[in-house]
Amino acid sequence: MPLQKSSFAQPADETPVRVYLTRTGAVETVPLEQYVTGVLAAEMPADFELAALKAQAIAARTFIVRRLAAGDTSGIAGNKADVNDTVEHQAYLSRAVLADWPKQGKSEQLAKLRQAVRQTEGLVMTFRGQPITASFFSSSGGYTENSEEYWSLKIPYLRSVPSPWDAAINPKNRETLEMPLTQLYGKLGQAVPESVQAAMAAIGRGDAKASAKLSPAKLFKTLSWTSGRRVKEIRIGDRVYTGREVREKLDLRSSQFTLAVDGDTVKITTYGYGHGVGMSQWGANGMAKQGFTATQILKHYYTGIAFQQASHFLEKN
């Protein structure tokens, strides 16, 4: 039976969303669906497949509806807005920025984003009758992550699932960065071990054999892996770190990484980009290219979810 709206309820697309614009300090109030369009424009390339854009629109809408329904203004000083325009909540392009897109020759892109929002209007993801925490990220290294293996909370719909599409279509799914060993230890908050200092000094004197003392097997040891094939715990120097700690301290693209050593330089290869929990945006685009629909994409990345209209949660009696 269709949901009956209260006579005082606002249509879902007119529900106001207050967005704190971090660059100016202003608060912009826009209707829900305009907010979703602004998030979609900021969070996913417009040249992605329409089904992927629609999946992202539903995820973005679910995120904000969950906050609005709960009256959640966390992260906003003085509770003067519902969300900010950064990835702390969801990246967002203001109404003024989007108004300039046609002048920049981006009319078709804007029309495509609006189409994705319009074709999913009001739709949100639910689990056990409530809007979900619709986390998403850029790309995976082959699998998504269980929520409790990156955060502390086990969430039943945020389970590790295969995501083989990312590497096939994302040219930046694998990247390698280099840094001096001394910088590695410094960023991890520990002194360079004496054995490493001695080996580096020997290399500086031209001792070719000293390089063997700086092999990855002697410097680093991955102790365990997560269900999503990311580093769970790793020993570096005299300390044990979580993969998340290493990612954040070294500013890596993801916690799925390998370490190699070349002389006194460490080479860190990362796979994917982001925390790995929820929907992979590049994976969604890969699924869309293979003909999957937006709801099929979302049901793959969010285990056991259902769909409902946002108006059910935003009605005010």
pLDDT of res. 2: 37
When pLDDT is averaged across residues 251-269 and rounded to a whole number, the result is 92
The secondary structure element, H or E, covering residue 145 is: none
Asked if 241 contacts 221 with a C-beta cutoff of 8 angstroms, the reply is: no
Q: Work out the number of other CB atoms within 10 angstroms of the CB of residue 189.
A: 11
| pTM of this structure | 0.88
pLDDT-derived band at 8 (thresholds 50, 70, 90) equals: very low
What type of residue sits at position 221? K
Q: What are phi and psi of 80, to 5 degrees?
A: -85, -5
d(CA 193, CA 84): 43
The per-residue pLDDT for range 173-196, each reduced to its tens digit, is 999 999 999 999 999 999 988 888
Instruction: Over range 262-272, report the average pLDDT.
Output: 91
Cβ neighbours for 310, distance < 8 A, ≥ 6 positions apart: 12, 15, 32, 61, 65, 122, 123, 124
- Extract the tokens encoding 197: 């200092």
Q: Residue 264's pLDDT band (boundaries 50, 70, 90)?
A: confident
Q: CA-CA-CA-CA torsion for 298, 304, 310, 316, nearest 10 degrees?
A: -160
21-58 residue pLDDT tens: 999 999 999 999 999 999 999 999 999 999 999 999 99
pLDDT tens for residues 122-139? 999 999 999 999 999 999
Distance CA 53, CA 294 (A): 8
